[in-house]
Amino acid sequence: MTFDDIYGRFSSASATVAGKKVKFDFGDAGKIFLDGVGGSVSKDDAAADTTIKVKLEDFVSMAEGKLDPTAAFMQGKLKVEGDMGVAMQLQSVMAKLRG
């Protein structure tokens, strides 16, 4: 799964957290911005309620169910900046990637 695959799945599923802005920061691989206020998905590097910083390969492992998000967080592979409550709501977003 590539960055473009992930972006495509987020876009086609309209995968957002209602009323919240979430940014996935994959470093040099790119960023995906889920705007739950405007109901859109983009590659913008905009201000977010919550920013998830993770390497693309670790995110792919999580999306494929090979890496537990909690374990990734505890191991420092996944960092959360901002509202941790929003991060907890991302399980439903991740489920849409597996579809």
What CATH architecture does domain 3-98 belong to? 2-Layer Sandwich (3.30)
**Which H or E run includes 24?**
strand 21-25
- So what's the pLDDT on residue 66? 93
Residue 87 CA to residue 82 CA, distance in Å, equals: 9
Query: If we measure between CA atoms, which residue out of 41, 22, 19, 23 comes closest to residue 31?
Result: 23
Q: Residue 34 CA to chain centroid, in angstroms?
A: 8
Q: Return the SS3 of 25.
A: strand
* 54 token code pair: 């993770």
- So what's the pLDDT on residue 91? 74
Residue 23 pLDDT greater than 70, yes or no:
yes
* 64 token code pair: 């494929």
- So what's the pLDDT on residue 45? 95
